[in-house]
Chain A
């Protein structure tokens, strides 16, 4: 069974902390994505990666960075967490360039106090 695994289901952090959200996929997919989901706003793309060490900004990259050192792992980093980054974070992956459907992880609900 294919899997996208996010390391934490719930996280509580303080303002100003550096936060790491980890995502691992076991499907050998080239593409990996980080979205945030907020009520009434749907899913918004933060960053995506189409290859190891390659990354591109999505629609709302401010305050975030990413790292992809290995094909299966894509990390989202909040350099200095702020309360407006309280959200559900969803990692997803897809194969190749063919714009296939996305496979999602179970999500990380982050609260920044």
Chain B
């Protein structure tokens, strides 16, 4: 059974600091997604990672994928309050309809 684990589940950090969210998955998967959810809102796609070693960056967020370790990271650089949200990773396999989500990491950036 494909499982996706994120850690930490909760993260409170000061503005200006760096931190990393980890996403581990249990079986082979060739696609890894990161989503952001603001309180009371729906999920918005951040990144899609398709191959081993893939790295994508958008502003203060950078995502990477290591398919051999079955690990993706979401790195936050010099956090700002606007990044406060819940971040989900999800995996799927090409040609299937199934997306498995992690439980989410709730990030709070303190001014």
- From the candidates A31, A45, A97, A106, name the one contacting B41 in the complex (CB within 8 A): A106
Taking CB atoms, residues of chain B closer than 8 Å to A104 are: 35, 42-44
> Contact at A90–B98, with CB atoms within 8 Å?
no
Contacts A99-B31, A101-B33: A43 and B42 contacting too (C-beta < 8 A)?
A: no
Contacts A90-B43, A104-B42, A104-B43: A42 and B88 contacting too (C-beta < 8 A)?
A: yes
Bound complex: CA of A44 vs CA of B3, how far in Å? Answer: 12
Q: How far is the CB of A27 from chain B (nearest CB, A)?
A: 13
> Contact at B42–A99, with CB atoms within 8 Å?
no
- Sample of 12 further A-B pairs with CB below 8 A, known A99-B92, A100-B48, A101-B33: A35-B101, A40-B9, A42-B102, A43-B88, A90-B42, A90-B43, A99-B31, A99-B94, A102-B99, A104-B35, A104-B42, A106-B41
Using a CB-CB cutoff of 8 Å, which residues 35-91 of chain B contact chain A? 35, 41-45, 48, 88, 90
Q: How far is the CB of B31 from chain A (nearest CB, A)?
A: 5
Highest count of chain A CB atoms <10 Å: which of B31, B92, B97, B101: B97
> Contact at B42–A48, with CB atoms within 8 Å?
no
B interface with A by C-beta (< 8 Å): 9, 31, 33, 35, 41-45, 48, 88, 90, 92-99, 101-104
Contacts A90-B43, A106-B41: A56 and B103 contacting too (C-beta < 8 A)?
A: no
Instruction: Report the interface size class on chain A.
Output: 20 to 34
Bound complex: CA of A1 vs CA of B92, how far in Å? Answer: 25
Q: How far is the CB of B69 from chain A (nearest CB, A)?
A: 21
Bound complex: CA of A41 vs CA of B100, how far in Å? Answer: 12
> Contact at B97–A56, with CB atoms within 8 Å?
yes
- From the candidates B48, B90, B97, name the one contacting A50 in the complex (CB within 8 A): B97
Taking CB atoms, residues of chain A closer than 8 Å to B92 are: 99
13 A-B residue pairs with CB within 8 Å: A33-B99, A35-B101, A43-B90, A56-B97, A90-B43, A97-B95, A99-B93, A99-B96, A99-B99, A100-B48, A101-B48, A104-B44, A106-B42
A interface with B by C-beta (< 8 Å): 31, 33, 35, 40-45, 48, 50, 56, 58, 90, 92, 97-107
